[in-house]
Chain A
Amino acid sequence: MTAATVNAPASFSGPLTNDDVERIRRDFPVLDQLINGKPLVYLDNAATTQKPRPVIDAISNYYLHNNSNVHRGVHTLSQRATDDYEAGREAIRRFINAPDSSEIIYVRGTTEGLNLVASSYGRKFFRAGDEVIITGMEHHSNIVPWQILGKEIGIRLRVIPFNDQGELLMDEYESMLNERTRLVSVVHQSNALGTINPVSSIVELAHARGIPVMVDAAQSIPHLPIDVQAMGADFLTFSGHKMYGPTGIGVLWGRADLLNDMPPYQSGGEMIRSVTYEETIYSVIPHKFEAGTPDIAGAIGLGAAVEYLEAIGMDRIAAYEQALMRYGAERLAATEGVRLIGTAENRGGILSFYMESAHAHDIGTILDAEGIAVRTGHHCAQPVMARYEIPATVRASLSFYNTTEEIDTLIKGIDRVIEVFG
């Protein structure tokens, strides 16, 4: 890496203190601004996180000094670009403890990761009558690709239900597993409820029957330490922009033996070994799945984001955010007219709530006037909303750069909603 290391984050020890968080906040230039005359309170981290200076610097460093195509030229710039692009891959491998960096496929994001597996693995290995199991709390991106495939080849989608708290009914899951099950594809942390699903148990039950498991880690990877080998999953996918990296880049990790058996997902340059008009020999993984010029700056930015997170420490991040979430949940529960949606014992920094007196969109507008950014709506999880018989929720989603003072500001904003709507 070249100039990207100029802003290397400071080191941390012990639990994150208020001083640490103040220091961290200074790494995020966007946080320092007024919105509608009030200090920005950014609580929409599940939609996308803000970018720290080292990520921004890594991207601009690439464009300022190294811009070139990867894996092609013999010239110096191409070598630098390739080195940094592949260094990003290695950083990600280390971050999720994957056995080999060739198993790290750069994609555009979680949605593409899921589509790649549905399209490549699904088309090759699924037959009419086969079943894919998902949970009842999936993002649309882990529903629709299977439905499309279902229409095409006649697979059946099975859905694990969950209780009122938002916890999966594991007995129901176990009873769904059968000889027709070809894949279990589950969300690690629900974007609408915050529930952290027991992925290791899900894997164990599936593997006992020889069924592979895919994990959507979009919402968990920015907040929890993830070790794909300890988890035991077969595929895992996530987006860069939800983990402090740039948009347009994400990762599909898969076990090498599975990836090697899968046909290419898209075709073109970069992914071939040799082409004649009679025959094309595909490249090895990961290149087989990376057709065309990739998002080089994005991959380099994502590598910088991973290094930034490692410097703080994922255990430290998880502990801090957990305490912040508990504080927020307590304050919200004590606010009249507010109903928390998603109260699983094991959950991450998502505060999703509903108010009878005001629609989520009106709440969002009133909070915005107070400088508070939250997500309002169905969060691309309409079946979850249907489960609770509500059209939409307000979702405050937390990061390690948020503070208890910001939670207090949110509660004051909700008081304002109550003033307007009663």
Chain B
Amino acid sequence: MASDLSDLYQEILLEHNRRPRNFRTLEDATHHADGFNPLCGDEISLQLRLDEDTVGDVGFQGHGCAISRASASLLTQAVKGASSEDAMAMFNEFHRMLTEPEAELNYDLLGDLEMLAGVIAYPTRIKCAVLAWHTLKAAMDGEGIATTE
């Protein structure tokens, strides 16, 4: 099953893992949620500031594997400046990219998120990649807690 490991652990993903973007707490957050992957113990705390309906700022803290950390880092870059509706459209497209092998994808919408496409060949790791996105959704919906269960 597994494709070449280098499709999964691309250098740019490893770089996001080593030096995640927006790895910080926000002073002026309007929304936040904590995400858990009970299977592996990954934890993420995500904060965002919504200005009207636009993501003005977003940051995260926590610990997890390279996939979940890089995914959270990429998420913060992708959604900053986006409307909440666009952010959820990205989540939807991202989810399709990881779960529907034959899907025709909107790569303009995905942007840099495409570097996680290799996760589709590793079904046990999909939860790692989507944890940050579930947490973002929970924060926007005012739910406070997200799990990958």
Q: Which of the 9-residue segments B64-72, B86-94, B109-117 touches chain A?
A: B64-72
Q: Size of chain A's interface in residues, with CB distance under 8 A?
A: 19
Residue in B39, B67, B125 whose CB lies within 8 Å of A377: B39
A-side binding surface: helix, strand, loop or mixed? helix
CB-CB under 8 A for A378 and B66, given A361-B128, A365-B122, A420-B14: no
Q: How far is the CB of A360 from chain B (nearest CB, A)?
A: 7
User: Looking at the complex, which one of B1, B40, B66 makes contact with A376 (CB distance below 8 Å)?
Assistant: B40
Residues facing B in A354-395 (CB within 8 A) are 358-362, 365-366, 368-369, 376-378, 382, 385, 391-392
Does B9 count as interface, using CB distance less than 8 angstroms? yes
Contact partners of A369 in chain B: CB under 8 A: 2, 5
B63, A391: Cβ atoms closer than 8 Å? yes
Asked whether, in the complex, the Cβ of B14 is within 8 Å of the Cβ of A421, the reply is yes
The count of residues in chain B whose C-beta lies closer than 8 Å to any C-beta of chain A is 21
| A5 close to B (CB within 8 Å) | no
Contacts of A421 in B (CB 8 A): 14, 66
Determine if B8 is an interface residue (Cβ-Cβ < 8 Å).
yes
CB distance from A305 to the nearest CB of B (A): 28
A378 touches B41 (CB 8 A): yes
Q: Is the CB of B1 within 8 A of A359?
A: no
Interface core residue of A362, A376, A377, A391 (most chain B CB under 10 Å): A362
> Which residues of A have CB within 8 Å of B66?
358-359, 362, 421
Distance, CA A307 to CA B42, complexed state (A): 42
CA distance A378 to B41 in the complex (A): 7
Given contacts A377-B41, A391-B42, A392-B40, 12 further A-B contacts (CB under 8 A): A36-B1, A36-B2, A361-B42, A361-B125, A365-B8, A365-B122, A366-B5, A368-B2, A385-B41, A420-B5, A420-B14, A421-B66
Report A's interface with B, CB cutoff 8 A.
36, 358-362, 365-366, 368-369, 376-378, 382, 385, 391-392, 420-421
Task: List 16 A-B pairs, Cβ < 8 Å.
Answer: A359-B64, A359-B66, A360-B65, A361-B40, A361-B64, A361-B65, A361-B125, A362-B65, A365-B125, A377-B39, A377-B40, A377-B41, A385-B41, A391-B41, A391-B42, A391-B43
B residues touching A (Cβ–Cβ < 8 Å)? 1-2, 5, 8-9, 14, 39-43, 63-67, 69, 122, 124-125, 128
